[in-house]
Structure formats: structure tokens, C-alpha cells
Amino acid sequence: MMKLSATSRSYLKGCHIICTCAWVGAGVCMFLLNFVARPNNSHDLYVVMAALKLIDDWVIIPAAAGSLLTGLLLSWLTPWGFFKWHWVTVKWVLTIIMTLFGMFYLSPWLHEMADITVANPHGVLQDETFLTNRWLLSLSGGPMFLSMFFLVFLSVIKPWSGRNRRRTLSRPAPLGEAPEQRPNALGERRRSLGQAVDLSEALPPCRQQGCEQIQLGGDHRRIP
């Protein structure tokens, strides 16, 4: 299977991070507009719904598709794989669920609310479909918001060990055999230095008269 080079992998990872940041940032904006904004009249409500629809069409959908596509390429063309690591598998399952739920539920609810606001601006707050969709968006906004942040922290922390990783354990010594001891280099050096060195053979005998006889370490030497 073809694998990406280190440079290509960095570019692809950068695109994946940009798409994910755009997806999360747009999700935060929609969450705040949906829960914080309290329009007092039909005109303000139309502005809020138009902003939500604009963010969904031009940021949420392209960013989610880009994040899914770049994540697919990263898993396919890099050693990460799809099922080699537990956190990658969890991230894939959660990303697919969020993308499908947003595609088939959140986006249609939002577009229907925007259409009702345009078609009936004065009676929109009394429309049963509008109120139902608004309640469904408010109910699902919190879990989607938390899931986005969970995906971000999952990518950074990378918890759980991989399924195919092998742990090498040290084998104990067989019964009846002592474990191998490492040589004590310091002790050997001390013992070698503690031994008396006989220099009688290394030094030539003194042939001159008047040599003094001294004692070094228990050995007699003749030093001129």
C-alpha cells in the first residue's frame, strides 16, 4: 500500500487540523447564537436564523466534509490505520455519527426553520413546526458541542494502547540457576590498584657507587 512521505503527511495533517478547527469554531458560534440570542421581534429572529443558515451552509458542512476526508486519507495512507489504535477507532465512529446526524437531522431542521421565518415572519413564534425544530436543535446542541471538544482532546491526548502492540516482558531465570551478575568494574579496579606492583624487573640495577637503598611498598629499590 502506498504511504505518504513525511512532508506530504505534514501538509495533510495541517489541512485536517484546519478543517477540524473550522468545524469546532462554527459549532461554537451556532451554539451561542441558538442559546444566547433572544430575538424580541420577527426581524431579529430572521437575522438570527439567516446567520445560522449561513454558518451551516458555508462553514459547518464544508469543514465537516473536509475533516472526514482528510481523516480518511490520514488513516489510509499513514501507519495510523483505522483499527490499529483504540482512540482512532473511537474517533472514527464518533465522527461518522456526528456527520450523519448533522446531515440528516440538524441541517434539515435548521433549513426548515429558516424557510418558515421567511414565509411567515409575523407568526413564526406561533408555528408548531418551528417551535418543535427549535426544541430539537436545543436538545441536540449540547451533546454535539461536547462531542466536538471530546474529539479534539482525543486527538491530543491519544489515550488507550493499540490493539496490535506487543509488550516484551523480561523472562525470569530458570529454577536452580542464579541470575547473571554484571561484573563490578569498580571493585575490580580497586583490587588491581591495591596489589603491590613489583618494579624490580622493570628498573635496571644501579651500577654506580653511592646508591642509597630505600624501601617502597615493602620492596627494596636502589635509587642513585
| Amino acid occupying residue 180 | E
Give SS3 for 107: helix
- Positive or negative: CA dihedral 19, 148, 141, 96: positive
Return the DSSP state at 209: T
Q: Which three-class secondary structure state does DSSP give residue 208?
A: coil
pTM: 0.68
> Residues 133-174: pLDDT tens digits?
999 998 998 899 899 999 999 999 988 865 544 443 344 444
Share of the chain above pLDDT 90, in %: 50
Query: What are the Cα distances from residue 154, in Å, to 87, 92, 161, 171?
Result: 7, 11, 13, 35
Percent of the chain whose pLDDT exceeds 70: 71
Distances (CA, A) of 83 to 91, 106, 154: 10, 29, 15
Amino acid at 152: V
Cell of 52: 445560522
